[in-house]
Structure 1
Amino acid sequence: MSQTQTTPPQTPERHRSATRNGLIVAALLWAVQLVSLVAALSGVTQAAIAIHFQTTQIAWFTLMTLLTGTFFLPFLVKAAALYGKRRVLLIATGLGFVGDLVAAMATDYRTLLIGRGIAGIYTAATPLGYAITRDVFPRRWVGLANGIMAGGVGLVAFGGPFLSGWLLDTHGFRGVLWFMAISTALSFALVALLVPESPVRERGGRMDWAGGILLGGGVTLIIYGVGEGSDWGWGSGRFIGFMAGAVVALVAFLLVERRVAEPLFPVSMTRRRPVWSALLATAVAAGALNAVGVVIQLLVLMPKIPHVSDGLGWSGEHNAIVTSPISAMIIVGAVGTGSVARRMDSRILLALGVALAVVGYGIGTQYHSTAGQIISWGVVAGLGTGVVVAVVPIMVIEVVSPEEQALANGAQNLVLGVAQIIVSQLAYVVMAQHGMVLKGTQFYLDKGFTNGIWLVIGCCTLGGLLVALVPKAERLDDAEVGRAA
């Protein structure tokens, strides 16, 4: 087993001014929240990109980022522990900028996907940013810094749609892609100039290359196979071969992880029922809700073409105005959950959030043709989404010890990302069953959008039902100091 070794930072924490600490928080806030902002920008631009490049494979515009981000995350987190968190954050940010630059200049869809895939490496900025705060700030600043960074989600929830709408309406999808590149370059500069290196290192640690490659390979086979299954045929030899290969890779991964001293995925920890059940329930519920955006964004932004496309044809700005009340309810749900989590069973909170989301989206399957209709059920679904998003980390905190927290967070991010990718890919497949290809572009009819929402409802409901497997855990009020909501 590796040991943690701490060396004195170049600038001692106690001698750093409040202004300097504030600048570090600002740099990390931008690095962390840029991941969410880019995800929002991607969702708004996918309809315009599909039409411009005349592609039936628009699913991969968002899935490539998710896939590479999920694949490389364990490697980057481990490298950060071995070689320095700031150093790895700069590498991830630099590669993210390269990917954004390739995507912004792409003249064909394949090159665009290559750029998006490279840019997906930047998603590691979120766990790395939070990890740095624990290492470089004085104790009294750690809670404040994490609170500010987490609270930035409100700015993204409100400002993101308006920013992306303005960029899309004024400068087209190219303007959005260039904004991503400029923002990532700014993040690199802020981290390089303001953020100190973490003094915490693992001594004698090793990278689990075999485990990471097997896990990434297995997930990739599943995602690609599901994405192409409707074209190949669900009973075809190619589809069955991809699924069989995925099973072999994942079984081999589990066997490898049980034997290595420092696994990327904590198999021994996840064998405990409280841990695996909490990870499973939260991943399915939150992964489904994270995936619903692919359906809703295509519904509101795809054009209205009789007998070809039943999109609403909204502008980016109109979409931002209509969805702002929904964003507000997501924040209300998240903040409210953080306030009551110390007094309520987290399992009840997750079930409540799922129920609200299912009711909201259930109404949405029948009524989604006007702004008023979408707002009416969207605020209910948004409230439920906020509850689910906030309770996910709380449930993980409750079932592991402080020493296991970092591994548990990594495992939770990994399984949630896999769930989101699978549900998103299935949503595209389901929608395409009731769609039409015109001039090389995949369009969707109303039945396709409706079935896509039903898919999300089904997966989210499954996550809610899986709560029954989670045993009653320690209340957050009784947890050790530092394990906060």
Structure 2
Amino acid sequence: MTRTPAASPPPAPTADLPSEHGTRLGPRLTVVLLAMLWPAQMLTVAGVFTSTSQGAIAQHFQTTQIAWSATIYALVVALATPFVAKAGDLFGRKRVMIAILAAGLIGDLISVLAPNFELMLVGRAIAGLYGPMAALVYASARDVFPPKYVGPATGLIGSSAGIILILCPLAAGWLLDHTGFHGVLWALGGGIALGLLLVLFFVPDIPPTEERVHFDWAGGLLLGGSATALVYALAQGGGTWGWTDARFLGLVAAATVLAVLFVVVERRVTEPLLDVRMLARPGVSTVLAGSAIAQGTFYSAGTMVVFVALYPSIPGVSAGLGWTGTHNAIVGTPAGLLVILVGLAAGVLTRKIDPRLPWRAGLVVTTVGLIAQGFFHHNELQIILAGCLTNIGAGLVLSCAGILLLGVVSHREQGVASGMAVMLTNLMNALTTQLMFTALNSDRNILNGTAFYSDNALSKAYFTLAACMGLALLMSFFIPKVLRPNQIETGTTEQLVSTR
């Protein structure tokens, strides 16, 4: 693996931020970091709030299609991310952050005011437009922070999901118990509004990094069509159609053809939506694929708590524990705290050792934790212990994902690479969520228009997610050597092009 200077590179744009000296981050950059943390985690916030209220929403609208509440959101995030990342490069990332947060806020308002489930799904789809926020934040870290702080700041942004996993379930649980799911959704809209204000007033302007003048709409339509066909096929194949139905096989074939056409188009257009040549580099492809599967699976696993803890206990119908939202949040607090602590440790550790080592360790522990949750999810002690095991691994996974990506791409590639990372993570989240529901639907009961699940179905769902995490673990052994955070170039240094 070598790095060679780029041919006559233009000077890298930098954020309009004063330099910080000394060993500490400094008050100005600390405020900026905090202002970036919250909007970057809005995807996780939305996941926690909507998953907490999912059971109540399903019973309120009497629908068996509640899976689409999460799936349509993840799918829109995946499809919008390349366009959002490219727009950030073209028009400046702060401007695009403001635009997508405003659009997402509108979507959340539609969801909370929707009189039926179909209109709620429309709102969820529009709200997905703020999902790519993390891609813009990660790409901006190199321009905002001095070189020695890029790794720790990136790791903290990733591991701050642990804060969400502690505070947001408590808030969502209390709101669900006292105000119903409408109160939870109103609070989610308030969180988006807060993120919008933080970006407006505290995130510095980051100049455009490219001078391209148009988007690759053909590539976007092909990619969108392929992803939509595949996700819908999985949803129907595991539900009413079956895996051998001609409609399922036809949609899978169509998704494959569209994906191939997408690659062909992207290799030929002068302004591609995604750089498939970058994906041809082993370091980039293995990091992006492995991290997308791992993170997408972990976020899917987070929704399992709804069916395990919040669904009612109805003998012969539902194996849920029937807990209140508050009780469930309290039980989950130790596991959420571990994500933060382990993530902080990983941010420091990766400055001294190969980031692939804690990454692999995290995947092993998370896989074992999901298997344990499949066997042990019947009382508070079991859920705490198995959940803590899963989240110890998740702390390493969430923290190391962004750091690994920094180590395999150059500064000029960071925007596109971050966009691909978020897009693939959400696409994998949509896919693993559908696989999870396929396992759940293998043993379900319909009562008053709502699907309830047996204990056997809950176990199968956890084992399915463990298999997905195991796939990410297998892929991790194909990742070539990457740079540690203190070795990467940033927006303030000479630009280099990796031949990795």
Same fold per superposition (TM over 0.5): yes
Whole-Å separation in 2 of the counterparts to 1:367 and 1:146: 34
C-alpha distance after superposition, 1:98-140 (max 9, x if no partner)? 1000000011100111001100101122222344455567889
* Structure 2 counterpart of 1:199, one-letter code: P
Moved more, 402-411 or 178-187: 402-411
**Contact preservation (8 Å) 1:302, 1:309:** yes
Which of 215, 221, 241 is the equivalent residue of 2:250? 241
Displacement after TM superposition at 1:177 (Å):
0.7
Q: Is residue 301–residue 311 contact of structure 1 (8 Å, CA) maintained in 2?
A: yes
TM-score, structure 1 length as denominator? 0.90
Q: Does 1:470 align with 2:445?
A: no
Structure 1 pair 8–27 and aligned structure 2 pair: CA distance change class (3 A): closer
Could you say which residue in structure 2 is the equivalent of 1:357? 366
Indicate whether 1:368 and 2:409 are aligned. Answer: no
Q: Which letter maps to 1:457?
A: A
Instruction: Note the C-alpha offset of 1:201.
Output: 4.3
Show structure 1 runs of 5+ residues with no match: none
- 1:195-219 Cα offsets, whole Å, 9 max, x none, are 4532334223431111111111100
**Partner of residue 132, structure 2:** 124
Structure 1 partner of 2:50 = 42
Cα shift at 1:476: 1.1
Structure 2 match to 1:32: 40
**Distance change >3 Å, CA 392–CA 58, structure 1 → 2:** same
Q: Secondary structure at the match of 1:436?
A: strand
| Partner residue of 1:180 out of 179, 183, 188 | 188
User: Which letter does structure 2 place at the counterpart of 1:317?
Assistant: T
Q: Distance in 1 between matches of 2:369 and 2:159?
A: 25
Deviation at 1:308, TM superposition (A): 0.7
Q: 1:282 to 1:199 in 2, by over 3 A?
A: closer
SS of alignment partner, residue 212 of structure 1: helix
Cα deviation 1:425-466 (Å, max 9, x = unaligned) = 110111011011111101111111000001011111121122
Pairing of 1:315-354 with structure 2 (within 5 A): 315-354=324-363
In 2: Cα distance, 1:274 partner to 1:130 partner: 18
Amino acid at match of 1:425: Q
Instruction: Give the letter for the 2:229 counterpart.
Output: L
Contact 2:406 2:485 in 1 (8 A): no
Question: How far 1:258 sits from its partner (Å)?
Answer: 0.5
SS of the aligned residue for 1:333 comes to helix
Q: In the alignment, does 2:278 pair up with 1:275?
A: no
Q: Aligned runs of 1:53-64 on 2, under 5 Å?
A: 53-64=61-72
How many residues align structurally?
478
- Match for residue 67 of structure 1? 75
Q: Give 1:29 deviation, angstroms.
A: 3.3
Whichever residue aligns with residue 458 of structure 1, its letter is A
Aligned to 1:409: 418
Give the 3 Å change call, closer, same or farther, for CA 144–354 of structure 1 in structure 2. closer
Counterpart amino acid of 2:178?
Answer: T
2:163 equivalent to 1:155: yes
Tell whether the 8 Å contact from 1:67 to 1:220 is kept in structure 2 after alignment. Answer: yes
Letter in 2 for 1:181: G
Identify which of 205, 208, 214 aligns with 1:200.
208
Tell me the alpha carbon deviations over residues 36-81 of structure 1, each in whole angstroms, 9 at most, x when there is no partner.
2222111111111111111101111111111111111111111122
> Alignment partner for residue 97 of structure 1, among 96, 105, 112?
105
Contact 1:6 1:199 in 2 (8 A): no
Q: Deviations over 1:245-286 (max 9, x none)?
A: 111111110001101223222211111223222322222233
Mapped partners of 1:222, 1:312: distance in 2? 33
Whether contact under 8 Å (1:86, 1:132) holds in the other structure is no
Q: Tell me which protein shows more helix as a share of its residues.
A: 1
Q: In the alignment, which residue of structure 2 is the partner of 1:421?
A: 430
**Counterparts in 2 of 1:84 and 1:393: CA distance versus 1, 3 Å:** closer
Write the distance in 2 (CA, Å) between the matches of 1:7 and 1:398: 20
Correspondent of 2:313 among 304, 313, 317: 304
Distance 2:460 2:247 in 1: 26
Letter in 2 for 1:442: A
The residue type paired with residue 75 of structure 2 is L
Partner of 1:399, secondary structure, is coil
In angstroms, what is the RMSD of aligned CA positions? 2.8
Shift in alpha-carbon separation, 1:464–1:225, aligned structure 2, 3 A: same
Give the partner amino acid of 2:98: L
Change beyond 3 A, Cα 1:297–1:23: same
Structure 1 letter corresponding to 2:41: Q
3-state DSSP of counterpart to 2:210: strand
Q: Which of 141, 144, 169 is the equivalent residue of 2:177? A: 169
Cα-to-partner distance string for 1:170-225 (whole Å, 9 max, x where unaligned) = 11100011111222233334433454532334223431111111111100110111
Task: Please say if residues 5 and 200 of structure 1, whose CA atoms lie closer than 8 Å, have aligned partners that are also in contact.
Answer: no
Alignment-derived partner of residue 498 in structure 2: none
Separation in structure 2 between the aligned mates of residue 143 and residue 475 of structure 1, nearest angstrom: 11
Distance change (3 Å), C-alpha of 1:78 and 1:272: same
The answer to whether the Cα contact below 8 Å between 1:6 and 1:200 also exists between their aligned partners in 2 is no
**Counterpart residue identity of residue 310, structure 1:** A
Q: Secondary structure at the match of 2:446?
A: strand
For 1:467 and 1:140, how far apart are their aligned partners in 2? 26
Query: Are residues 117 and 5 of structure 1, via their aligned partners in 2, closer, same or farther at CA, if it must alter by over 3 Å?
Result: farther
Report % sequence identity. 35
Matching residue's letter, 1:155: I
Structure 2 counterpart of 1:78? 86
The normalised TM-score by structure 2 is 0.88
Aligned residue among 271, 274, 288 for 1:262: 271
Q: Using the TM superposition, name which of 196-205 and 330-339 deviates more.
A: 196-205
